């Protein structure tokens, strides 16, 4: 059977299924679902856990051996498998199906992986998992639903829901659910009684975001090269900056390309911004960027960003710090190499 992530806790409170399969595009939601399952299982006496990381060279016999082995610590055990991809091959498909159909009563079998395409969800092994247990599919939280998602998580954490605060967190984190949860956890620590001083927090958030990755990208899109250089100088020493910045730039440039294509047909900026659900306080910035950058220039920046990403992963040899600065300055209108 299938259940939605928000239905999982209720499902677990009724009974523990022998098998859970959690998959989807959003890692944080997958991890939260897995945490709910483990917590419920622990309350039912599943105290021992063994984990396997499964790739194309995995020996499926290791799981079969673990199923037959007796635990020294607990009669009830969790066997957890993380599939690196949904492409497990014929051997993996047969093994996973056989294991799922023959689980001992003292074993809780948990499988997780990332996003699966339509064909993978129609495969025999997937249908077997669905028949033998509970399948939980997590979805990306779309930008127009992010405020509601943040408000919901605040309530779950015992914080008084506040629309302005939820909007502030959503804008600051720009769709990054992990960053959103970190902000919510900070609120929980700062306001243990759950009652938040909204004005004080929003002022802090504004000061904090002034020199953030998102403010850096917005400064570039707005054409403020001086601010770009100032913020980038402060952030470029942080080890995580290239990874986060590359992802943020890819998301923004890809969105601009799609809007640029649509703009050639619609010819009305407001209509395009509305159809892409651009937040009100960013409309002027995005409209400015669309006006300055034709489709061809944006596409060239995206291709250049691809090489930067490969260099971050060690597959190319660009100077990542310098090249990211180049893209930022190009977006701000200061460097003409992508005319």
Q: Give the count of beta carbons closer than 10 Å to the beta carbon of residue 242.
A: 19
Q: What is the pLDDT of residue 333?
A: 84
Q: How many domains does the chain have?
A: 3
CATH number at 155 reads 1.10.8.60
Last residue of a domain, one of 193, 209, 225: 209
Are the C-beta atoms of 236 and 263 separated by less than 8 Å?
A: no
- Rounded Cα distance between 141 and 229, Å, is 32
What pLDDT does residue 72 have?
53
Its domain, for residue 30, covers 2-138
Q: Cβ distance 198 to 162 under 8 Å?
A: yes
Q: Is residue 338 part of a domain?
A: no
Pair (201, 86) in one structural domain: no
**Within this chain, do residues 108 and 223 fall inside the same structural domain, yes or no?**
no
Name the one residue in this structure whose structure tokens are 């900026």. 269
Contact 78, 112 (CB under 8 A): no
Whether 199 and 262 share a structural domain: no
Express each pLDDT in 106-131 by its tens digit.
899 999 999 898 889 999 999 999 99
Q: Is residue 339 part of a domain?
A: no
Beta strands at 19-24 and 2-3: parallel, antiparallel or unpaired? unpaired
Q: In this structure, are 129 and 196 located in the same domain?
A: no
Q: For the full predicted model, state whether its pTM sits above 0.85.
A: no
Q: Please tell me whether residues 240 and 328 are part of one structural domain.
A: yes
CA neighbor of 295 nearest in space, from 267, 262, 319: 262
Residue 297 lies in a domain: yes
- Regions of the chain with pLDDT less than 70: 70-74, 143-144, 174-175, 206-211, 334-339
| Residue 249 placed within a domain | yes
Is 76 found in the same domain as 27? Answer: yes
* CATH number of the domain that residue 11 is part of: 3.40.50.300
Instruction: State the Cα–Cα distance between residues 330 and 298, nearest whole angstrom.
Output: 10
Note the pLDDT of residue 337: 47
């Amino acid at each position: 059977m299938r259940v939605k992530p928000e239905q999982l806790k209720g499902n677990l409170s009724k009974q523990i299924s022998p098998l859970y399969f959690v998959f989807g595009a959003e890692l944080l939601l997958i991890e939260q679902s897995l945490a709910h399952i483990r917590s419920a299982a622990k309350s039912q006496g599943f105290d021992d856990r063994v984990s396997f990381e499964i790739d194309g060279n995995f020996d499926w016999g290791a799981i079969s051996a673990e199923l037959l082995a007796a635990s020294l610590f607990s009669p009830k055990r969790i066997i957890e498998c993380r599939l690196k991809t949904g492409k497990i091959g014929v051997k993996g498909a047969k093994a996973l199906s056989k294991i799922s159909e023959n689980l001992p009563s003292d074993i809780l079998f948990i499988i997780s992986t990332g996003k699966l395409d339509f064909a993978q969800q129609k495969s025999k092994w997937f249908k077997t998992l669905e028949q033998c247990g509970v399948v939980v599919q997590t979805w990306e939280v779309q930008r127009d639903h992010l405020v509601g998602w943040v408000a919901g998580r605040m309530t779950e954490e015992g914080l008084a829901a506040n629309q302005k605060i939820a909007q502030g967190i959503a804008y600051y984190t720009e769709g990054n659910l992990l960053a959103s949860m970190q902000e919510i956890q900070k609120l929980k620590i700062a306001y243990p009684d759950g009652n938040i001083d909204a004005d004080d927090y929003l002022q802090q958030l504004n000061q904090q975001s002034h020199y953030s990755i998102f403010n850096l990208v917005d400064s570039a899109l707005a054409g403020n090269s001086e601010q770009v250089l100032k913020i980038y100088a402060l952030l470029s020493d942080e080890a995580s900056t290239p990874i986060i910045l590359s992802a943020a730039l890819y998301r923004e440039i890809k969105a601009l390309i799609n809007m640029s294509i649509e703009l050639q047909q619609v010819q009305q900026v407001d209509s395009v911004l509305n159809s892409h659900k651009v937040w009100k306080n960013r409309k002027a910035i995005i409209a400015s960027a669309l006006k300055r950058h034709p489709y061809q220039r944006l596409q060239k920046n995206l291709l250049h960003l691809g090489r930067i990403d490969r260099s971050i992963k060690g597959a190319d040899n660009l100077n990542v710090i310098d090249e990211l600065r180049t893209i930022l300055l190009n977006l701000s209108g200061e460097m003409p190499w992508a005319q």
